[in-house]
Structure 1
């Protein structure tokens, strides 16, 4: 009895003895053309390759989505219907994830824009480089108007400040000319009378010898000056406001040196009648 090995040998001999099909003229010519044809170019069409890659990526993404949808449907069917609170929690989680993704994308776009602006600022101006000078920034009409308005306000503030200073301060000579006026009310050389007899009587009294002069006027000098200063500073503040206290004291001191209320001036006046 023949085994499987003998059967395979008999089948092979039968195939080898079978007549081979004859080739037609068309097949022979086609084979000759293929043998003598020029080889194809080895260049790659980049656009076709990019389109093919996009189609492949889209197809892979579609299959991935379908697989995820099937998996989610499977697990949802296994878990059963969800309650309203669970669905709300899942929706909130999805919304938070989407918001975080949007924030991250906005942050990335902002950083990219900053980098582009920094690169543009570092890039030299070709036109300015050709001219040979630094790049002059362009100024708009609104910027020029704003600068003119700021300059006008600055000049106006300076003019107002100068006017206030001029109103608060005055020339020292003008103050002295106005303030240091001779006090004729205390002039002892002037005699006022309503009749001739009254004038003669007053002249007689003035001609009579007075008491001897004070030999120690410095003892009452401080008190007299204090009273004189208090009286004069009030008048000066009303007549010429705006001075400092130091300026008032300087003017009062000049008035005090010429004032008849000064004990030293009184001593000098009396020594004319009573020489030492």
Structure 2
């Protein structure tokens, strides 16, 4: 049993960490540690530089961005000139003639609505008329949006 105890003690002593303080670290040791870290970084950088084009991530091609809202794509000179020029049919401020256009639309459409809906009151007919006006191609605001959409 004594022999087994000595064997076990010897195994434990071999595994025990070093006893005692290593003492102060000298400036030379610090510089050596810094030099080793720099070499490791350089080796890592060299390994990164050696990567092939297949291992590197793809970068975004800034020349092929998706068309943003309001952007016009022109693939030829004629398309670019057409996109930049303002046609005379397209007005910049259709709101200015909105009231007159609605009055003309009402004059034409109100008799038809009265004929189709004889039991409705005038206020109800005007509500229907207003809904039709919002979708009508006679509405100057819709004309502006249609002109905008046809150039896309």
Identify, as 1 or 2, the structure richer in helix: 1
In the superposition, the TM-score normalised over structure 2's length comes to 0.41
- Structure exhibiting the larger radius of gyration computed from Cα positions: 1
Instruction: Return the structure number with greater relative CO, CA threshold 8 A, min gap 6.
Output: 2
